[in-house]
Amino acid sequence: MDRFEAMSILVAAAETGSLTAASRKLNVPLPTISRRIAELEAHLGTRLLARTTRRLALTDAGAAYFEACKRILDEVGEAERTAAGEQSAPKGDLVITAPLVFGRLHILPVITDFLALYPDINIRLTLSDRNVDLMQDEIDLALRIGKLPDSAMVATKVGELRRVVCGSPAFFEQHGIPTTPQDLAGRPAVNLDVLRPMPWTFAMVPNGRPRDVAVLSRLAVNTAEAALDAAIAGVGITRVLSYQAADAVGHGLLQIVLDEFEPPPLPVYLLHSVQGIPPVKLRTFLDFAAPRLRRRIGAILAPARDDSH
């Protein structure tokens, strides 16, 4: 049995969730995939994979062995890339995913600058507001906004985004500018939630405890762009992430209110699944992108208030 081949097959099967997908990924016949897994399990004297109703899953022994295999294969790959000279000229393909609007506004400019410097790296950028499975969908790197669940993923924090309440100057001229969250009661609002509009959560200073405020949802939409357009048109106040409102605020079409009552900002991460030393192409992109994203995010609607609350 070729131990490295068997390890590679196990890793591919675990990451893709099926033997068939592993066969396609590795371009190895399915019977060979099944035989190598069986041989590896027989050699170790334990089951590594278990079938569920939807996909293959690692057993407890399989999970531990999978992590060891990943680490070994990554180190071997790194040694081969170093010997081949990739350290001085990173090369290969990267697959990156990011939220739709944030990706277009902030990830894409970073990628275009990166590609100009590294002609031997190609990137496929998938913009989607759906959190894809990095291993199942063969994604190298994801940008995620919000608190991360506990997982084996490796995260690099690149900033924080505010949740801002804003409305048009004409709307505030007609309805008045709210000075506390309670002032929102009875004021028309544009909710970014079409199924079941939820209360808006605020931090009540000086104690900082959260408080929910029910707003009058005159209009509910399912995209931030639509919410912003409706707010600009004077339908009501809306609440979005700071990067989504930045352009309209910068052009005077919207005005931010209640900034001193904002809940804690949402963290922004670059996320990947590689344990140990990442491939040079991924490490090169992380080193390039992280400081640039920190600068871009730091410049988005930085609050004028004192953050010591």
Domain range summary for the chain, segments of one domain joined by +: 3-83, 92-152+276-298, 163-261
Q: Are 218 and 235 in contact (CB under 8 A)?
A: yes
CATH class assigned to 92-152+276-298? alpha beta
**Short-list 245, 248, 175, CA closest to 216:** 175
| Residue 294 CA to its chain's centroid (Å) | 15
pLDDT of residue 179: 93
Q: Is 160 helix (H, G, I), strand (E, B) or coil?
A: strand
pLDDT of residue 51: 75
Q: Are 296 and 102 in contact (CB under 8 A)?
A: no
CATH class assigned to 3-83? mainly alpha
Q: Is residue 216 packed enough to be buried (19+ CB in 10 Å), middle (13-18) or exposed (0-12)?
A: middle
Question: Does the domain made of 163-261 have the CATH classification 3.40.190.10?
Answer: yes
pLDDT of residue 134: 81
DSSP, res 186: T
Question: What are the φ/ψ torsions at residue 287 (nearest 5 degrees)?
Answer: -65, -35
Give Cα separations from 17 to 21, 269, 280 (angstroms). Answer: 7, 25, 26
Measured CA to CA, the distance from residue 168 to residue 230 in angstroms comes to 9
Tens of pLDDT, residue by residue, the chain (309 residues): 688 888 999 888 888 888 888 888 888 899 999 999 999 999 999 999 987 666 788 888 888 888 888 888 877 876 776 666 555 568 889 999 999 999 999 999 999 999 999 999 999 999 988 888 787 778 899 999 998 876 668 899 999 999 999 999 999 999 999 999 999 988 899 998 766 677 898 987 776 678 888 888 899 998 999 999 999 999 999 999 999 999 999 999 999 999 999 998 999 999 998 766 778 899 999 999 999 999 999 988 765 444 433
In 138-191, which residue ranges form alpha helices assigned H by DSSP? Answer: 169-175
Largest CA distance in the chain: 78
pLDDT of residue 75: 77
Given the structure tokens 């990628």, which residue do they identify?
Answer: 111
- Range list of β-strands (E), the chain: 49-51, 56-58, 92-98, 121-127, 141-145, 154-161, 163-167, 188-191, 200-204, 209-213, 216-220, 237-241, 255-257, 266-272
DSSP, res 149: P
Measured CA to CA, the distance from residue 114 to residue 110 in angstroms comes to 6
Same CATH fold assignment for domains 3-83 and 163-261:
no
Measured CA to CA, the distance from residue 161 to residue 159 in angstroms comes to 7
